[in-house]
Amino acid sequence: MEGEKGIGDKAYVSGDLSHRILTPFKSTQLSDDQKLWNRAVAAVRILVERINNHIKAFKILSTAFRHDITLHGTVFEVVCQLVNIRLSVFPAVKRIHPLLRGRPTQFVFSED
């Protein structure tokens, strides 16, 4: 949707999609605000990686699909629904990272 951005790692800092992806700062000298930003991005990214690992456990993407290829999308959706059910019973995180608790945070960065 318009105005939405994704979250990526440092590999997306410079590239065609860099204006549409929120990335951590990469530098040896980071300000406190930049360090806080990097922690916030990492806190969200780790949740996504955990969900990806749950999906990968079914090996739907890493092994050859042995059925009609038209079924692959349906099978993948079923796997994702199973992961969602599992996550409703066993959440990916037991406590919310303080940076993600919904408190508004103003990040002010100077353009160097």
* pLDDT band per the 50, 70, 90 thresholds, residue 112: very low
- The burial class, CB within 10 Å (0-12 / 13-18 / 19+), for 87 is middle
Residue 42 forms part of a structural domain: yes
Question: How far is the C-alpha of 38 from the C-alpha of 35, rounded, in Å?
Answer: 5
**Angular region, 11: left φ>0, alpha ψ -120 to 50, beta rest:** alpha
Maximum alpha-carbon separation in the chain: 54
Per-residue pLDDT tens digits for 3-12:
777 777 777 6
Residue 82 forms part of a structural domain: yes
Residue 47 forms part of a structural domain: yes
Residue 12 forms part of a structural domain: yes
Per-residue pLDDT tens digits for 69-88:
999 999 999 999 999 999 88
Residue 112 forms part of a structural domain: no
Residue 110 forms part of a structural domain: no
What is the span of the domain harbouring residue 27? Answer: 6-100
